[in-house]
Amino acid sequence: MEAEEHYRRLEHLYHQANIQEIFSNSEIKVSSERAEITLPVAAKYNHGANAIHGAVYFKLMDDAAYFAVASLVRDVFIVTSSFQLNLLRPVTGGTLKAVGTVRSKAKNLFVAEATLYNDKGKEVAFGTGQFMRTTQPLSSLQGYGEEES
């Protein structure tokens, strides 16, 4: 399978996950060792002080780092084994953009980082995660196969 087909299948897998019902207005772009996710800010993502909840920061950065690593792994599903998150400033509107890149590659363990930006390009959070290979074939995942017509 060509790299571009793998990236498009990963994007499809992202959109097919059940959690995406909550984040249905997000977009993802996967390329070699990199993933970008954008999410328009909505009030449904706010905590009690009317700013984006940290869980949303984590979701975007974990996904961006995860799919950056997944761009390299074409045979099996990978999982997040740890993720360190640093929140820098609150977000109350606009569009968020998470950029994930691979930092380190090994046979079974990968390290990737992600940075979250507001719509002015200002960094609002950053994090680093570790990701591990599993034994579950990608081909066994319904969302990874060919897109439905």
Report the pLDDT averaged over residues 129-139. 96
pLDDT at 149: 36
Q: Within a domain: residue 54?
A: yes
Domain hosting 53: range is: 3-141
Task: Return contacts of 47-50, CB within 8 angstroms, 24+ apart.
Answer: 49/90, 50/92
pLDDT in tens, 6-54: 999 999 999 999 999 999 999 999 999 999 999 999 999 999 999 999 9
pLDDT at 145: 76
Q: Within a domain: residue 66?
A: yes
Length of the chain: 149
> E strands, 11-122, where?
27-31, 34-40, 76-87, 95-105, 109-117
Residue 114 sits in a domain whose CATH number is 3.10.129.10
Mean pLDDT score of the chain:
95
Q: Within a domain: residue 14?
A: yes
| Residue 70 Cα distances to 77, 99, 103, 118, 121, angstroms | 8, 14, 13, 25, 25
| pLDDT above 60: residue 95 | yes
| 83 contacts 98 by C-beta, under 8 angstroms | no
- Look at residues 77, 78, 90, 55 and name the one whose alpha carbon lies nearest to residue 129: 78
- Look at residues 56, 58, 59 and name the one whose alpha carbon lies nearest to residue 45: 56
Q: Within a domain: residue 78?
A: yes
pTM of the complete model beyond 0.75:
yes
Q: Within a domain: residue 147?
A: no
Q: Within a domain: residue 146?
A: no
Q: Within a domain: residue 149?
A: no
Sign for the pseudo-dihedral over CA of 14, 19, 20, 25? negative
